[in-house]
Each structure stands twice: as C-alpha cells, then as structure tokens.
Amino acid sequence: MRVSGSSGQESSLEAQETVLRATSTGEIVKVVKDRGSGLKENRPGLNRVLAMVSDGSVTVVRVTHEDRLARFGVGWLKRLFAMYGVTVEVLHPKKLGGRDELLEDFVSLVTTFAGRLYGMRSAENRKRLLAESGQCSDQGRAA
C-alpha cells in the first residue's frame, strides 16, 4: 500500500488494507505500507517488498492499483518478480489504452514535478523566513 503524502492520508492506507485483506485467498505474510511519491525509487516499503521477493518469502505481491507499487516501471518490476517466481496481482487494473494512458502518465508527471517544485519553494521560503526572524542561522550559505 502506498500514499503520496507523509500525513493526513491514513484513511487511504486503511481502505487499501481493508480491500486487500477482504479479497485475499492466501496467507498474508506481511503488509507493507509506504508514504511517498510513486516516482521515488528508494522508498522503504518498496525496498522491503524487493527484499521479500528476492529472499523467497512471498509468492504474490498484491496491490489495489499498479501505481501503488510505482508510478512508472511496473512492467519492469513484474518481470523482475517473475524471475523469482513471484506474481503481481492488481485488484483494479487500468482499463485505459493508447492515447488515454499516455495522457494520464503525462498528467501524473506534470503533477508530481509541480508538487516537487512548489515543495522546494516552500522549504526555501520557510528557511528564509526563519533566517529573517533570527530563529535559524544562515551560516552554511556562501556570499
């Protein structure tokens, strides 16, 4: 399970877990939760899933939607998992094709990068405001 934000989305994680548990027919070995962008390649939850796949402790990885595993590159992950005998089950697969899928991917990219840009701006503004108020030293900056 994955949500993009670091807080305020606990209900989405709970909803994903509820539907995954309710539809499971096998033994649940581990529930893995991640908070962070699906574009990040170094998420703790994804790393745990990769480790479980490679050590043989799971045979199936289940997600509600493909983008909960990763925004892009799910095909690569499925191929890697298959090399270890692990399948990926997607409860709600995409029904898009061709142009619609490409457009959705493009919108996801723009949205993600816009969010990062505004997040960087916000962090810079917070740092500037703290420095101006004297609550934060600005020693690390070059003149």
Res 103: pLDDT: 79
Cβ distance 70 to 97 under 8 Å?
A: no
pLDDT > 70: what percent of the chain? Answer: 86
**The overall pTM is greater than 0.85:** no
pLDDT tens column, 50-105:
999 999 999 999 999 988 998 878 899 999 999 999 999 999 887 766 777 777 77
Asked if the 2-90 domain carries CATH number 3.40.50.1390, the reply is: yes
Which residue type does 99 have? R
- Look at residue 137 and tell me whether its pLDDT is greater than 80: no
115 pLDDT tier (thresholds 50, 70, 90)? confident
125 pLDDT tier (thresholds 50, 70, 90)? confident
- Look at residue 143 and tell me whether its pLDDT is greater than 50: no
Which helix (H) or strand (E) element contains residue 35?
strand 34-35
Number of residues in the chain: 143
> Is the CA virtual torsion 59, 63, 68, 73 positive or negative?
positive
Res 132: pLDDT: 77
Cβ distance 34 to 46 under 8 Å?
A: yes
- For the segment 131-139, the average pLDDT, to the nearest whole number, is 67
3-state secondary structure of 3: strand
